[in-house]
Amino acid sequence: MKILHATISKTGGRKRNEDYCGCYTKEGLLCAVLADGLGGHRGGEKASRTAVQSVLEDFGDYPDCSAEGLHRYFIKANKRLAEGQVYEPHLAGMKTTLVIWAGNHQRGIWGHIGDSRLYHFRGGKMISCTKDHSLPQKLADIGEIDPSEIRHHEDRNRLTAVMDGSESMKWQILEKPVELERRDALLLCTDGFWEYLEEGEMEESFRNSNDPQEWLEIMEGRIRERAPKDQDNYTAIALTVK
């Protein structure tokens, strides 16, 4: 078996793309990283790029697919964000979401902060999804709204945790890697991507595709059909075990 990957990152209806993503392979291992930046004066662009590049560089130097390894990647990326704010004071408010996946065709581990998500599919069906660090997610957790209402909730953009360079930020990482099977798939995506796609549509698009690139293209077609002209940036990384 092997793991295949593809990426997509589009500006949408905005003037610039504050999302950023990338993948790095080394010694039979793959690291996929995705971020959605926030902040004025191009701070969002800087934040997402800084975080993703930090993780990929560190993975390239020392590939580690353990919970401890991902924790170190998060710490280093957060530190670089803090350093960037010192060197460029006008970017002091820059922040970013961050999702990291690391592994191979046999197993993988992931962590995240913010409302960028990671979905895991098996047998053409979603079996898990990260929980957003947002107000609507908190409401869903205590039963005040149904999880299906998060996507269109009026406070969906009110995040409860993002990477901002401070030491108080808390990201979530799996305790141990998850075993993968043939035809498993993983989707890392920003809110501009999952906002216009129901999970059932992600599943259907996967079943109708032959590889990760085609899977992304089918889903992008659905997004473009229904998104408004001023839609947000949208970015995704698709991984499939073949």
Tell me how far apart the alpha carbons of residues 11 and 93 are, in angstroms, rounded to a whole number: 22
Residue in this structure with the two tokens 């999804």, named with its chain if needed: 129
| CB contact at 8 A, 171 and 74 | yes
Q: In 3D, which of 16, 30, 18 has the Cα closest to residue 186? A: 30
Asked whether the CA dihedral 30, 221, 117, 157 is positive or negative, the reply is: positive
Instruction: State which residues of the chain have pLDDT below 50.
Output: none
Query: What is the set of domains in the chain, with CATH numbers?
Result: 3-241 (3.60.40.10)
In the prediction, which pLDDT does 41 show? 66
